[in-house]
A and B are shown apart, each in its own frame.
Chain A
Amino acid sequence: MKVLGLILAGGKSDALGKLVFKRASAALPVFGKYRAIDFTLSNMVNSGIYKVGVLTQYNPRSLMDHLGSGKEWDLDRKHGGLYILQPYLGMTGEYWYRGTADALFQNTTMLRRGDEDYVLIGSGDHIYKVLYNDMFSYHFAKGADVTLMVKELDETYDVKDYGVVVTEADGRIKEIHEKVQNPPSRKAFLGVYFINKYLLLDLLYDTVPAGKYDLLLDVIIPNLDKLRVYAYEFNGYWRNIKKGINEYYKTNMEVVNNRKIREELFLKHGKVYTKLKDYPPAKYTGTARVSNSMIADGCIISGAVRNSVIFRGVVVRAGARVENSIIMQDSVIEEGAVVRNAIIDKNCVVRAEQVLVGDFEPVVLEKWMVI
């Protein structure tokens, strides 16, 4: 069985504010050295999927730069490999991707060509580790037409922000409710679809030309009675960082604070691959005080760092204090500066003795800022 992987990475997210002024949310840096898309991409490669299309649209530069030829994911291949699928100008008109179904519809050539029988569709914004192979087996065992990945959300999630499914006893989905006030279940749809390629083509041709552009709302939900749509339950750690700055911040902090989550994300079900930067190992000088923090390669730490995520190449000078913060690549925190509850984007400089403190929401410093 051959599977084509498709990653939806084109959406705009207003909730992420300054963090996505200049990048797609799938390219958002997480956990000291990764970008969000690394997780879904690595999951696919670790599951033996070696042909992956990434659908981009909003601010794709940093995402494209990150993915390159797909070398780091072993996707620089003769057969298959990595395909970047961007909206394009054609003879018949020019359209942006008007929705997820439309994005797939505009790339039906990619679907029709190639010898894959199945398509796995995922999202570039989700943080989780899984081998999809279990889901494939489930799909066949149930004789399903479509299998959706779902997760029973605990109280740390606000379930009305997610689409939830109602299933029969055997796992077949009866209803799907997209972001409703009083959701009838806590079983959220995780944005992962597994479907026969030719069935998907049929469904797309049935809906998109009629002006319906959303894969879930216009393609799956109206066909719930006709198609055997099944819910595959995923029980591991899962977060969608696209939900907002707070969710992004919380996710990073959870990984710092919880060894179990770290082990699940980084050591289970294969590795997480990302673009390598060839930084030397991090150096801690005699004045460094580091506790409960993640520190990536290339850092030089001389100050105090607590409960924080420090990305590659960051310099924290003597006397500086960094607490409960996320400092992205190549930023510099100078002598005596104080940074608390903050997200500092790439290549920023916090000058000596400056104070940057966030309250309920972390304060965000845009790329290349100097304060």
Chain B
Amino acid sequence: MKNVIGLILAGGQGTRLGVLTEKIPKPAVQFGGKYRIIDFTLSNCVNSGIYRIGVLTQYRPHLLNKHIGIGKPWDLDRKGGGVTILQPYSTLTESVWYKGTADAVYQNIEFIEEYDPEYIVVLSGDHIYSMDYSEFVYYHISKGALATIACMEVPLSEAHRFGIMITDIDNKIIDFQEKPREPKSNLASLGIYVFTWEFIKQVLIDDAKDEKSDHDFGKNVIPKILSTEKVYAYPFEGYWQDVGTIQSYWETNLELVRPIPPFNLHDPNWRIYTRSEEMQPAYVSESGEVRNSIISEGCEIYGYVENSVISQGVLIGEGSVIKNSVIMTKVEIGSNVIIEDSIIAENTIIKDGCKIGVGKFAESKYDKKVYNSDITVIGMDSILEENCSLGKNVVVGNDRIVPKATQIESGGFFM
């Protein structure tokens, strides 16, 4: 795959993840006990033999930059290639942000040209899936296509959330509907593209001049080239998830603890690589008990854990009960704490006797669009002092200190 460049779009905020993406971009959010969401796409690239990668960042990139670094954990610290972080930059005449996905690639034409590639693979940094991009590229070549879009069949009832492709018998795309009310097919675009570079370069240059365009691949570029050029759909049949909402983020995490999970982290032929902190193996004490859960290294478990994903270096004190929850790195949970149906972000401290996620669902008083399920979310670097009680669908911001014995009813918030 020497003639292929991977471009990972990692600039999006992911507004529907609420406090989880207030301080960090969506691709940097932790997932599955030790990973960050971008690890899946990055590992797919490396496992597919793509070693020339640009990561396009924009929204609060610091943690993401630190995570990727020079790409050592992915074997991307190489001569002639490797991973390059592409941030928006200013020039003599102007300084602009990336206006859309297509514009982000357009602004980095120089970077791409330096490698003189034949094909580029445009990827999103916020999906959970394994895909062999080399098969994807060979498919593109064998079809003689100028653009190929990875697509997946989704339930018809879900189709309105996606860009829907209508194809002929040869998988050539003949029509396209963006988030349609009445979908004509159930073949959804995954936002993953292969382009022949010479072709798409010109399209991007033209698009940049078009003032009416939003400079977005899905919205502008693809519909534009569909009518005139050879654009194919690549039918992908594996597991793919866009963890775009709090509900789907939580569900996708908890799917991993099923007896036979739909996504296999243990596949020795398709390892997911990450920059993880060096930590000792997990310890489960005499008083501790773990059922149906994922426990990462560095954890010390003195309480009861069921149906949960526990990330690296988490401490769970004696008498505490954790159920149906996602607990991120280095969270400290004291004794006799109850946590149910919750997401607790990195480095948060939950002191003794707190109860989180108790009671019945109530509509969010903070933001109904983002917080609309049973799940209680606590942001990173926060502290819950002793004996706080939080209901369901509660949100606590980042860097907050919730005073002792605070009561927050279901649907409430602490910002």
Residues of A within 8 A of B (CB): 31-33, 71, 256, 259, 262, 265-266, 271-274, 276, 278-286, 288-298, 300, 309-312
Q: How far is the CA of A288 from the CA of B72 in the complex (A)?
A: 35
Contact across chains for A280 and B33 when beta carbons are under 8 A apart: yes
Knowing A278-B271, A284-B292, A284-B295, say if A296 contacts B282 (CB, 8 Å): yes
A307 and B284 alpha carbons, distance in the complex (Å): 10
Instruction: Report the bound CA distance from A250 to B294 in whole Å.
Output: 28
Contacts of B79 in A (CB 8 A): none
What are 28 A-B contacts defined by CB distance under 8 Å? A33-B297, A262-B280, A265-B280, A266-B279, A271-B278, A278-B271, A278-B274, A280-B34, A280-B272, A280-B294, A281-B32, A281-B297, A281-B309, A281-B311, A282-B282, A282-B297, A283-B256, A283-B266, A283-B293, A284-B290, A285-B292, A291-B284, A291-B288, A295-B284, A296-B281, A298-B266, A309-B281, A312-B281
A286 pairs with B281, CB closer than 8 A: no
The answer on a CB contact under 8 Å between A284 and B291 is yes
**B272→A278 contact, CB < 8 A:** yes
Q: Which residues of A contact B72 (CB under 8 A)?
A: 71
The answer to whether A266 touches B288 (Cβ under 8 A) is no
Supposing A278-B273, A282-B295, A297-B297 touch, asked if A288 and B280 sit within 8 A by C-beta, the answer is: no
How far apart sit A289 and B304, CA to CA, in the bound complex (Å)? 11
Query: What 0/1 pattern do residues 305 to 338 of B give for CB contact below 8 A with A?
Result: 0000111100000000000000000000000000
Q: Across the interface, do B289 and A291 meet the contact criterion of CB distance under 8 Å?
A: yes
Residue pair B284, A290 in contact (C-beta under 8 Å): yes
Contacts of A290 in B (CB 8 A): 284, 288-290
Does B259 sit at the interface, judged by CB under 8 A? yes
Scoring B residues 250 to 271 as 1 if CB is less than 8 Å from chain A, else 0, what string do you get?
Answer: 0000001101000001100001
B211 on the interface (CB 8 Å rule)? no
Return chain B residues, CB-CB under 8 Å to A298: 266
With A281-B265, A284-B293, A286-B259 known, 13 other A-B pairs at CB within 8 A are A31-B280, A31-B281, A33-B280, A278-B273, A280-B32, A281-B312, A282-B297, A284-B292, A284-B294, A288-B291, A294-B282, A296-B297, A297-B297
* A146 shortest CB reach to chain B, Å: 33
Residues of B within 8 Å of A309, CB to CB, are 281
CA distance A278 to B47 in the complex (A): 13
Question: Which residues does chain B contribute within 8 Å of A294, judged by CB atoms?
Answer: 280-283
B94 within 8 A of A: no
List the interface of chain B (C-beta within 8 A of A): 32-34, 72-73, 256-257, 259, 265-266, 271-274, 276, 278-286, 288-297, 300, 309-312
With most chain B CB atoms within 10 A of its CB, the pick from A31, A289, A291 is A291
- Give A31 to B291 CA distance when docked, in angstroms: 23
Residue on A nearest B290 in the bound complex, by CB: A284
Shortest CB distance A130–B (Å): 17
Given the complex, which residues of A lie within 8 Å of B291, measured CB to CB? 284-286, 288
Main SS of chain B's interface residues?
loop
| Complex contact B286–A272 (CB within 8 A) | no
Q: How many angstroms between the C-alpha atoms of A286 and B290 in the bound complex?
A: 8
B296 touches A281 (CB 8 A): yes
Question: Contacts A281-B295, A281-B296, A296-B297; is A32 near B280 (CB within 8 Å)?
Answer: yes
Closest CB in chain A relative to B252 CB, distance in Å: 15
Residues of chain A within 8 A (CB-CB) of B274 are 278
Q: Which residues does chain A contribute within 8 Å of B295, judged by CB atoms?
A: 281-282, 284, 295
- Which of A71, A274, A280 counts the most chain B CB atoms within 10 A? A280
Q: Is the CB of B32 within 8 A of A295?
A: no
B292 near A281: Cβ-Cβ < 8 Å: no
Which of A273, A278, A293 is close to B284, meaning CB atoms less than 8 Å apart?
A293
B47 to chain A, nearest CB (A): 11
B283 contacts A286, C-beta separation under 8 Å? no
Which residues of the partner chain A approach B285 to less than 8 Å between Cβ atoms? 291-292
Question: For A282, what are the chain B residues with a Cβ–Cβ distance below 8 Å?
Answer: 282, 294-297
Counting chain A CB atoms within 10 Å of each CB, the highest count among B266, B272, B282, B312 belongs to B282
Complex interface: chain B residues within 8 A of A296 (CB): 281-282, 297
The one of B286, B290, B294 in contact with A292, judged by C-beta atoms closer than 8 angstroms, is B286
From known contacts A280-B33, A291-B285, A291-B286, infer whether A297 and B280 are also in contact, taking CB-CB under 8 Å: no
Instruction: Please indicate which of the listed interface residues B257, B283, B293 has the most CB atoms of chain A within 10 Å of its own CB.
Output: B283
Q: How far is the CB of A127 from chain B (nearest CB, A)?
A: 13
Q: Do B281 and A33 touch across chains, with their CB atoms under 8 A apart? A: yes
Query: When chains A and B are docked, how far (Å) is the Cα of A247 from the Cα of B20?
Result: 47
* Cα-based distance from A288 to B280 in the complex (angstroms): 21
Q: B257 near A293 (CB under 8 angstroms)? A: no
Smallest Cβ-Cβ distance to A267: which chain B residue: B280
- Measured CB to CB, the closest approach of chain A to B133, in angstroms, equals 19
In the complex the two chains form, is B34's CB within 8 Å of A256's CB?
no
Give, as a whole number of angstroms, the nearest-CB distance from A306 to chain B: 9
A280 touching B281 by the CB < 8 A rule? Answer: no
A283 CB contacts on chain B under 8 angstroms: 256-257, 266, 293-294
| Cβ-defined partner of A295 (8 Å) among B266, B281, B309 | B281
